Amino acid sequence: MQINQNISSVRVSGTIKLAQRAKDMIAEGKNVIDLTEGQPHYNTPAHIIEAAYTGALEGKTRYTAVAGTPHLRKLIADHINKLNGTDYQLDNIVVGCGGKQLIFNALMVSLEQGDEVIIPAPYWVSYPEIVKIARGTPILVQCPEVAGFKITAQQLESTITNNTRWLILNSPGNPTGAVYVRSELEEIATILRKHQRVAILCDDIYEAIIYDDAEFNSLTKVAPDLIPRTLTVSGLSKSYAMTGWRIGYCAGESDFIGQMIKLQGQSTTNASSISQVGAVAALEGSQEFLKDWLHDYTKARDLVCSKLSQSPYLDIYKPEGAFYLFVGCRKLFGTGELSNDHDVCNYLLENAHVAVIPGSEFGSQGYFRLCFAKQEELLNEAIDNILQAISVLSH
């Protein structure tokens, strides 16, 4: 059967591909520690599961409105308004099957052939591929570690062209954990005000996971005048350990949200009705456990940073948010048969039995990403294995 050229040009997700290889090795009986997938090790809190179970028993198993139940959308609007200083109503909100679907929908309804989307690198692996599927052109901007892995206002200004339609901002960021501070967003906003045709997609999926008492800043809060052309995407997957429930949400200008809802109505229709019941319980229930989880993530971050810093062959950037460590591994190139970050990750998988993802999958050669949202015992074992494997290699 014929496959269209757009799909033929799209790469398989690097995170999914490498995670599957780790799963295959585990199925073969090998003791592999998988640090590839970005999800908490916690189970979804019991009160959320119980609410979904009760909802199913009560018959909340039927279609909902395409955009999500009014109750859930109201809770989401209230949450975003409180966090970002906006004034969104129900018609500004759409609920989808995860943040990824909503990013897909947003770009599908807005891009024409040749439209450009500026994507700071390192980036989440799916951004450029979704742009390609939507017939757009991803414009990748390298943001080095010396700049905190963040795009500068100067870089943005020099990259915008007459074809630029979107800028994607992800803060806290995947894979680096970089967080844009208020002054950086203000400088970016100054540039965007000069270019009225450029919309901004703010991927805030890690908004609740920020360390050292730092403040989460959104572009809408910093620059309210840009609200009409800013789309905020977030969800419950990372914060509430609900990755498998597939609930994401999006907030933006009502006419644009309406077009996203129209597309969703012709594809997936509503997100799972039972998952929506669970999402209501998540947003209405106690948020105290999030503080406990953040404490655990902070402890895990400090653990992996401290231990991996012991190796002279690895460069450590301490993340400010999310639950990833983006580790510089260039000093290993030229040792043994290692010449790039894919070689390093394959070596660690085969010799340390630890699965991590090459930085080149995120658009930045010379790094690997690991997820530290794991149990302390497992993390200790994984990091010890990595250090041992590198030690043997370097000798």
| pLDDT > 90: percent of the chain | 89
pLDDT higher than threshold 90 for residue 388: yes
- How does pLDDT run across 162-217, given as a tens digit for each residue? 999 999 999 999 999 999 999 999 999 999 999 999 999 999 999 999 999 888 99
Token pair of 183, please?
Answer: 């002054």
pTM for the predicted model, two decimal places: 0.95
pLDDT of residue 104: 98
The dihedral built from the CA positions of residue 40, 46, 47 and 50, taken in this order, carries a sign that is positive
- How does pLDDT run across 63-122, given as a tens digit for each residue? 999 999 999 999 999 999 999 999 999 999 999 999 999 999 999 999 999 999 999 999
Mean pLDDT computed over 333-344: 92
Least confident of 11-15, 234-238, 277-281, 299-303: 11-15
**What's the fold here for domain 59-284?**
Aspartate Aminotransferase; domain 2 (3.40.640)
pLDDT higher than threshold 90 for residue 26: no
Angle between helices 273-284 and 46-57 (to 10 degrees): 140
User: Could you tell me which CATH class the domain 5-44+288-394 is placed in?
Assistant: alpha beta
pLDDT of residue 195: 97
Q: What is the mean pLDDT of the chain?
A: 95
pLDDT of residue 6: 77
Looking at per-residue pLDDT, the higher value among 392 and 386 belongs to 386
Find, among 261, 236, 260, 231, the residue nearest to 247 by Cα: 236
pLDDT of residue 337: 87
- Domain layout of the chain by residue ranges: 5-44+288-394, 59-284
Please tell me if the domain spanning 5-44+288-394 has the same topology as the one spanning 59-284. no
Mean pLDDT computed over 382-394: 92
Least confident of 7-21, 132-146, 166-180, 203-217: 7-21
Question: At 18, is the pLDDT very low, low, confident or very high (cuts 50, 70, 90)?
Answer: confident
pLDDT higher than threshold 80 for residue 12: no
Q: How many CB atoms lie within 10 A of CB 296?
A: 17
pLDDT higher than threshold 90 for residue 155: yes
315-316, strands of its sheet edge to edge:
315-316, 324-328, 367-371, 357-358
Cβ atoms 365, 341 nearer than 8 A: yes
Decide the pairing of beta strands 367-371 and 33-34: unpaired
Residue with tokens 């997609």: 201
Mean pLDDT computed over 11-16: 72
pLDDT of residue 29: 85
Q: What angle do CA 210, 214, 219 make, to 5 degrees?
A: 85
Question: At 14, is the pLDDT very low, low, confident or very high (cuts 50, 70, 90)?
Answer: low
Q: How many Å apart are CA 38 and CA 125, to the nearest integer?
A: 12
Mean pLDDT computed over 223-241: 97
